[in-house]
């Protein structure tokens, strides 16, 4: 495959359940692939996938071309975990002192908080992040907690890997000492391969971390609805993102009710929303605040996604 010179641009959208992350991610993918002629990949990292519903086509765990310039994949956590275990198992088998603990046991022993399924999904994420086959990669995430937790994984993994490398180094020291007394043992070669493997993973995590906090490459956007709970949670997200040095591009206010003078309920509801919009503009005014109306129809299929994309980017 022809490799592209440039690293891709990344788009991530975070927000509470049901605010419109999948719809907006999909609309972004349609916009860039059609209007900007960018080779675009959309990756669902939400274990409860709904990309297939949004595009009204079956996607699944392998990259699928769904339109010109537009590719999609839904990471299957179970499959990712199996693949990850397969990849890691031979390495762990070689670490004598860890043998018998199993992969899960090893993560527990190192005081890891995330589950192996999350780490496996993150490994896939790293894989796509390092890909140079696409101009744009969009990640459709699960509700906020998940997306933010994902961002903390590089740190957690880094400290875990640090520990593993140290343990490994000590152990290789012992091996080398023993080796002096056992001239026929040839385990030192293996030792180097293992440490290389861990160092390599550490490097990849470091580069993912760098990409995620590079505002030129990573476009992190907050989605909310004009409601108090959504506003509070967006403020919390912004705080967390700040801690990770990740800057925010757009604050997208979705599902704003249109004028409807004939409907008393709608008018009352709209009035409340307009009040919340004022608060949003006060609180998030330094960001690019974009307002998206509530559509009459659900946002599903290419035509609706095109309409949404136009509102977001034109």
Ligand X SMILES: Nc1ncnc2c1ncn2[C@@H]1O[C@H](COP(=O)(O)OP(=O)(O)OP(=O)(O)O)[C@@H](O)[C@H]1O
Contact set with Mg ion (CB under 5 A): 21-22, 50
Residues 208 and 307: their CA atoms lie apart, in Å, by 33
Residues 11 and 2: their CA atoms lie apart, in Å, by 23
Size of the site for ligand X (CB under 6 A): 19
Yes or no: say if 153 and 122 are a contact pair by the CB < 8 Å rule.
yes
Task: Map the footprint of ligand X across residues 73-102, applying CB under 6 A.
Answer: none
Binding span for ligand X by CB under 6 A among 161-169, 182-190, 214-222, 298-306: 298-306
Helices 77-94 and 116-129: angle between axes, nearest 10 degrees:
100
Residue 230 interacts with ligand X (CB under 6 A)? no
Closest CB to ligand X among residues 280, 299 = 299
Closest CB to ligand X among residues 211, 250 = 250
For residue 10, count other CB atoms closer than 10 A to its CB: 20
- Strands, E assignment, the chain: 9-14, 40-44, 64-67, 70-74, 136-140, 218-224, 248-256, 288-293
Closest CB to ligand X among residues 76, 135 = 76
The residue to which tokens 């990640």 are assigned:
139
Contacts of 304 (CB under 8 A, 6+ apart): 295, 297, 298
Binding span for ligand X by CB under 6 A among 37-45, 241-249, 267-275, 289-297: 289-297
Q: SS3 of 205, please?
A: helix
Residue 143 interacts with ligand X (CB under 6 A)? yes
Residue 197 interacts with ligand X (CB under 6 A)? no
Residue 258 interacts with ligand X (CB under 6 A)? no
Residue 28 interacts with ligand X (CB under 6 A)? no
Residue 255 interacts with ligand X (CB under 6 A)? yes
Closest CB to ligand X among residues 161, 290 = 290
Q: SS3 of 13, please?
A: strand
Question: What is the pattern of x (binds ligand X, CB under 6 A) and - over residues 148-187?
Answer: ----------------------------------------
For residue 239, count other CB atoms closer than 10 A to its CB: 9
Residue 298 interacts with ligand X (CB under 6 A)? yes
Question: Using CB under 6 A as the criterion, which residues of the chain lie in contact with ligand X when the complex forms?
Answer: 15, 17-23, 46, 50, 143, 254-255, 292, 294-295, 298-300
């Amino acid at each position: 495959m022809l490799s592209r010179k440039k690293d891709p641009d990344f788009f991530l959208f975070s927000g509470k359940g049901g605010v419109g992350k999948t719809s907006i991610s999909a609309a972004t993918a349609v916009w860039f692939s059609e209007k900007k002629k960018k080779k675009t990949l959309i990756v669902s990292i939400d274990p409860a996938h709904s990309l297939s519903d949004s595009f009204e086509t079956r996607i699944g765990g392998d990259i699928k071309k769904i339109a010109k310039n537009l590719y999609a994949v839904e990471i299957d956590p179970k499959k990712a975990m199996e693949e990850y275990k397969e990849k890691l198992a031979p390495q762990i088998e070689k670490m004598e002192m860890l043998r018998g603990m199993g992969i899960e046991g090893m993560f527990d022993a190192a005081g890891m908080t995330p589950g192996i399924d999350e780490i496996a999904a993150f490994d896939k994420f790293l894989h796509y992040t390092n890909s140079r086959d696409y101009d744009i990669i969009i990640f459709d995430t699960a509700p906020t907690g998940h997306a933010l937790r994902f961002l903390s994984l590089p740190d957690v993994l880094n400290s875990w890997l640090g520990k593993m490398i140290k343990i490994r180094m000590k152990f290789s020291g012992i091996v080398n000492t023993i080796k002096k007394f056992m001239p026929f043992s040839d385990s030192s070669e293996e030792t180097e391969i293992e440490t290389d493997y861990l160092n390599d993973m550490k490097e990849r995590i470091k580069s993912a971390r760098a990409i995620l906090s590079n505002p030129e490459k990573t476009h992190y956007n907050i989605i909310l609805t004009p409601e108090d709970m959504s506003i509070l949670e967006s403020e919390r997200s912004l705080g967390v993102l700040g801690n990770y040095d990740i800057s925010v591009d757009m604050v997208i206010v979705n599902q704003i009710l249109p004028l409807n003078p004939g409907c008393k309920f709608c008018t009352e509801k709209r009035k409340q929303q307009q009040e919340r919009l004022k608060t949003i503009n006060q609180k998030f005014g330094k960001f690019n605040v974009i307002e998206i109306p509530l559509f009459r129809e659900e946002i599903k299929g290419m035509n609706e996604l095109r309409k949404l994309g136009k509102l977001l980017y034109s």
